[in-house]
Amino acid sequence: MEIIPYLIFLVAIPVAVIIIYGYSRREETPYEKEIRLGRLNPELFCPHCQSKGFVRDKWVTQKAGISGGKATAAVLTGGLSLLAVGLSRKQQLTQAHCEKCGSTWVF
Ligand SMILES: [Zn+2]
């Protein structure tokens, strides 16, 4: 009987559509916003709109100095060589986002 895979397919498509539709429709929760942009830091000052108390900040790790050769090898092996060789240098930075003017910057 070849009907089982067809039935699974028939059920999986609407379920996937409902999940994707529901996910794109719903509002972002404060918790998700905190994950994405960081926690509100009342001491931070926004250099773009000169206001204080609207700035979120969080730690970000930025890759620094990946060589061209390594990057090409990573592309050719689908990122496997980067895992094997290791990402070169990592830089710990702070990403800040101003709720008032919407600017995002890193320092
Ligand atoms: Zn601002």
Domain positions in the chain: 3-106
Look at residues 44, 47, 64, 72 and name the one whose alpha carbon lies nearest to residue 56.
44
Q: What pLDDT is attached to residue 70?
A: 62
Question: How much is the pLDDT for 8?
Answer: 87
What's the 99 CA to ligand 1 centre distance in angstroms?
A: 7
Instruction: Tell me what the mean pLDDT of segment 58-62 comes to.
Output: 90
DSSP string, 48-105: TT--BS-EEEEEEEEEE---HHHHHHHHHTTTHHHHHH---EEEEEEEEEETTT--EE
Between the CA of 105 and the centroid of ligand 1 the distance, in Å, is: 10
Distance CA 20, CA 84 (A): 34
Q: Taking residues 48-63, what's their average pLDDT? A: 93
Give the whole-angstrom CA distance, residue 68 versus residue 70: 5
Compute, in angstroms, the gap from residue 97 CA to the centroid of ligand 1: 8
Average pLDDT, the chain: 84
Residue 25's beta-bridge partner residues?
A: none
d(CA 36, CA 99): 13
Confidence of residue 90 (pLDDT cuts 50, 70, 90): confident
- Between the CA of 35 and the centroid of ligand 1 the distance, in Å, is 19
Match 């996910």 to its residue by tokens: 23
Residues 8-32, mean pLDDT to the nearest whole number: 86
